[in-house]
Amino acid sequence: LPAGIPNLLANGAQGIAVGMATSVPPHNIIELADALLHLIKHPKASIETLLTFIKGPDFPTGGLLIEPFGSIKEAYSTGRGGFRVRAKWELETEKGGAWQIVVTEIPYQVQKSRLIERLAEMLQAKRLPFLADIRDESAEDIRIILEPKSRRLGAEVVMESLFKLSDLEVRVPLNLNVLDADGRPVVMDLRMALNAWLGHRRAVLQRRSKYRLARIKARLEVLEGYLIVFLNIDEVIAIIREADHPRDELMRRFGLSENQGNAVLDMRLRSLRRLEEIALRNETEKLTAEQDNLNSLLLDEANQWLIISNQIKEMKNIFTKIDKRRTLLSEAPS
């Protein structure tokens, strides 16, 4: 179906086929829209330029993206790579100097129940000597409490150890292996993937215009028949009442096409009486003007891209308030 949003990059996709696999993380639709608008004006924009708009994947579960820029650029330039994503946490201090760590966001596609179960197993096996307890206080929002064994420990040290040992940090793969418009498997870079969607939007615009032109052509043919009927209404009624084959007789007498003959016969007598020549001519003029506009649009590439740009801006306006970036960029740890 015609996609009004760049679905592959916005929602992501994962799949395995015979001898090939694909893994595309989700992205922020506002950032994609900005990159697409830039790409319409500069079709050969560099990956580095596109990354000024698209900061990296944007997961619905939030988290922190800690991949260095060089690595992100390499992944989007080749269509293959990965991104390190960490849980988001904060420090809660209590009276008397005690503190605890609260995890508020966990990496994409990590099951919370499985994560806590795994941490509890490691705690029992004494593989987490710096933790005293783990509690799940989540309601609608995630809230995992990590209590340290000693307040003398640093919270950063505790978390770095947990990132290394558990799924509080994961690597999300990127493998932009997709079927292109011709159905061939190809590993695309970021620019190719965005241009593929722009090409799709242009094909949709052209097909829609051609379909509308065909409908206008058919309607204009019928209106032409109606005008002939209006000018000879008494004779038309006599033919319909008396002829054995009224359609063939109408076609012979007034030079109507088969479609026009059928349209005249399908009309109700009430409509036939109330046909107004001015209304018919107005509709004909309006459709002829639309036909001319569509024909000029199909010949004008610049105008096509202008319409696609406006469609992208409308899409961006819809999502501006509801799709703010959730996965924040953070410095990669040493």
Q: Express each pLDDT in 286-307 by its tens digit.
A: 999 999 999 999 999 999 999 9
Residue 271 banded pLDDT, cuts 50, 70, 90: low
Share of the chain above pLDDT 90, in %: 55
Per-position b or e across 49-64, b if 16+ CB within 10 A of its CB: ebbebbbbbbbebbbb
Is 332's pLDDT higher than 80?
no
Q: Count Cβ atoms within 10 A of the Cβ of residue 9 and give its class: 0-12 exposed, 13-18 middle, 19 or more buried.
A: buried
Residue with tokens 């096996």: 125
196 DSSP 8-state letter = H
Share of the chain above pLDDT 70, in %: 97
Residue 157 banded pLDDT, cuts 50, 70, 90: confident
- The pLDDT value recorded for residue 53 is 95
- The pLDDT value recorded for residue 323 is 82
Residue 325 to residue 42: CA distance in whole angstroms: 25
| Rounded mean pLDDT, 178-186 | 90
- Whole-number Cα distances in Å, 194 to 1, 7, 41, 197: 17, 11, 13, 5
Pick 195 or 332 by higher pLDDT: 195
Pick 156 or 171 by higher pLDDT: 171
Residue 55 banded pLDDT, cuts 50, 70, 90: very high
Is 57's pLDDT higher than 90?
yes
Residue 207 to residue 264: CA distance in whole angstroms: 30
- The pLDDT value recorded for residue 97 is 76
Name, in order, each residue with C-beta under 8 angstroms of 235's C-beta and a sequence gap of 6 or more.
Answer: 253
Residue with tokens 């609608």: 140
128 conformational bin, left if phi > 0, alpha if psi -120 to 50, beta if neither: beta
Residue 274 banded pLDDT, cuts 50, 70, 90: low
pTM: 0.85
Is 103's pLDDT higher than 80?
yes
Residue 138 to residue 134: CA distance in whole angstroms: 12
Residue 248 to residue 252: CA distance in whole angstroms: 6
Is 272's pLDDT higher than 60?
no
Is 273's pLDDT higher than 80?
no
| Rounded mean pLDDT, 70-92 | 93
Is 20's pLDDT higher than 60?
yes
Residue with tokens 């052509």: 217
| Rounded mean pLDDT, 221-231 | 85
Residue 277 banded pLDDT, cuts 50, 70, 90: confident
| Rounded mean pLDDT, 49-54 | 95
For 184, phi and psi rounded to 5 degrees?
Answer: -95, 135
| Rounded mean pLDDT, 41-59 | 93
Per-position b or e across 101-131, b if 16+ CB within 10 A of its CB: bebebbbbebeeeebbeebeebbeeeebeeb
DSSP 28-41: -HHHHHHHHHHHHH
Pick 267 or 334 by higher pLDDT: 267
Q: Is 191 helix (H, G, I), strand (E, B) or coil?
A: helix
- The pLDDT value recorded for residue 269 is 62
